[in-house]
């Protein structure tokens, strides 16, 4: 397959044509001609390297009523992603080589995105003994990121052993920083608003204390540590201190923590119930500044689909989580690009090259270079529309942005030179499937 992208604007502001042949960038420049090539007019469009999400929940196996690898991959492609990392809280839990190989195989078969499984740190996410970390790392899935996300590895000795083990092959432990005793029954951010609403509070220190402990453990054993969905100004300061000390720590922020605040909980709408919770306006601004200055390394969606019945119910009974793949780029533009805090080169870094580097994912270190894999996202930043369920391509409709005006539109996504989205529409499965 030969594709010619004409007049795209690269992250550095350069306007160029891109000739894609056999899945790689074959030529780059102006006035490229290619007989018989499929032409994509990219004038006025921002070209980005294919987006990489280090934190998604694809739910398969076991929770296919919420999402599957196929439907989650379609949601990812619609959002401009070409690679996603799938968290381990499936059923059975992804704590063995067999489960992670199953997830990786399904992703490869469907073809919409590269699916990299994340292995559980502990057996059954129970926090009692280490999982088959070595077997998962050596499996066909070649797992390099390990996390009990959804639960914190709260035992410090177990966390130390996990860091030591994973460091032997250059992997990383991604920690869900939540001290369980400090968050028992928690429903939202702890503060004046939680007291007024009568909802059990989730204190910032429950996150900050785990991060502080774990960066010291990482320093002690000489391992890499990644902090999932960092959400407070205090957490930013802990990570900033750790990086200044030379500790090998990276951190992510979700799009929703860059834009939404705890004030939305006043509606008691469970779409705004998420773990960690929406925080104060001061936290949101601290997170934006930390992303801009590099203290926070990447944006990751924490895409968490749920069946309708577990979100359209009373707040206390509702599941934690939001879908975020289809809206991520728009929310990042709204929160930090349109404000001038990040440029498109920064977006390419925090949503593509940096998450790929953290997850040890090949093919994203030289975007748009001749000979590099053709993972490309074409995005129209001038578009604007009310976000609706028509934009959602997975099973989950639990988006916090429904009815909200957001900028931008993904026009095309190419995964290894294969169009998965064209003219804003997903391509049929038979056109992208490798199965």
Q: How many CB atoms lie within 10 A of CB 103?
A: 23
Provide the sign of the torsion angle of the four alpha carbons 145, 148, 153, 157, taken in this order. negative
283 is catalytic: no
Contact in structure between 416 and 402 (CB atoms under 8 Å) = no
Longest CA–CA separation in the chain, Å? 67
Residue/partner pairs of 338-344 with CB below 8 Å, 24 or more apart? 338/407, 339/288, 341/288, 341/289, 341/291, 341/292, 342/291, 342/292, 343/11, 344/9, 344/11, 344/13, 344/46, 344/48
Say whether the peptide bond before residue 276 is cis (omega within 30 degrees of 0): yes
Say whether the peptide bond before residue 202 is cis (omega within 30 degrees of 0): no
Pairing of strands 38-41, 425-426: unpaired
Contact in structure between 300 and 310 (CB atoms under 8 Å) = no
Q: How many CB atoms lie within 10 A of CB 65?
A: 14
Q: What are phi and psi of 234, to 5 degrees?
A: -65, -40
3-state secondary structure of 425: strand
How far, in Å, CA of 412 to CA of 400, rounded?
24
Q: How many CB atoms lie within 10 A of CB 35?
A: 6
Angle at 393 between CA 390 and CA 394, to 5 degrees: 130
Residues with Cβ within 8 Å of residue 430, at least 6 apart in sequence: none
Catalytic residue among 148, 214, 302, 346: 302
- The candidate with the shortest Cα–Cα distance to 189, out of 233, 238, 236, is 233
Give me the active site residues, please. Answer: 302
């Amino acid at each position: 397959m030969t594709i010619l992208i004409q007049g795209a604007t690269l992250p550095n502001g350069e306007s160029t044509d891109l000739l894609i042949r056999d899945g790689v960038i074959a030529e780059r420049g102006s006035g490229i001609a290619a007989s018989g090539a499929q032409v994509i007019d990219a004038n006025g469009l921002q070209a980005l390297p294919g987006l990489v999400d280090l934190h998604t929940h694809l739910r398969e196996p076991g929770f296919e009523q919420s999402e599957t690898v196929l439907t989650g991959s379609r949601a990812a492609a619609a959002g401009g992603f070409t690679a996603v990392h799938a968290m381990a809280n499936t059923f059975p839990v992804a704590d063995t080589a067999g489960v992670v190989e199953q997830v990786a195989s399904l992703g490869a078969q469907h073809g919409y995105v590269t699916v990299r499984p994340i292995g559980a740190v502990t057996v059954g996410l129970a926090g009692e003994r280490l999982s088959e970390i070595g077997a998962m790392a050596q499996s066909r899935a070649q797992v390099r990121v390990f996390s009990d996300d959804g639960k914190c590895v709260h035992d410090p000795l177990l966390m130390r052993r996990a860091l030591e083990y994973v460091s032997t092959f250059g992997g990383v432990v991604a920690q869900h920083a939540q001290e369980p005793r400090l968050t028992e029954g928690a429903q939202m951010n702890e503060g004046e608003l939680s007291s007024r609403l009568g909802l059990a509070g989730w204190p910032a220190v429950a996150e900050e204390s785990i991060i502080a402990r774990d960066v010291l453990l990482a320093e002690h054993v000489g391992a890499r540590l990644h902090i999932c969905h960092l959400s407070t100004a205090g957490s930013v300061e802990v990570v900033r201190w750790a990086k200044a000390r030379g500790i090998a720590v990276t951190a992510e922020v979700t799009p929703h923590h860059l834009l939404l605040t705890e004030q939305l909980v006043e509606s008691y709408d469970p779409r705004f119930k998420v773990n960690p919770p929406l925080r104060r306006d001061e936290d949101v601004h601290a997170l934006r500044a930390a992303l801009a200055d590099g203290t926070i390394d990447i944006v990751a969606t924490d895409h968490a689909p749920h069946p309708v019945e577990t979100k359209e119910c009373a707040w206390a009974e509702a599941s934690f989580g939001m879908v975020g793949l289809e809206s991520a780029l728009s929310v990042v533009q709204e929160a930090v690009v349109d404000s001038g805090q990040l440029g498109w080169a920064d977006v390419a870094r925090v949503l593509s090259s940096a998450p790929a580097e953290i997850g040890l994912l090949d093919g994203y270190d030289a975007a748009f270079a001749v000979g590099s894999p053709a993972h490309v996202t074409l995005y129209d930043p001038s578009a604007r529309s009310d976000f609706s369920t028509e934009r959602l391509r997975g099973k989950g409709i639990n988006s916090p942005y429904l009815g909200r005006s957001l900028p931008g539109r993904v026009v095309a996504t190419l995964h290894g030179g294969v169009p998965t989205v064209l003219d804003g529409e997903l391509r049929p499965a038979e056109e992208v499937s490798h199965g």
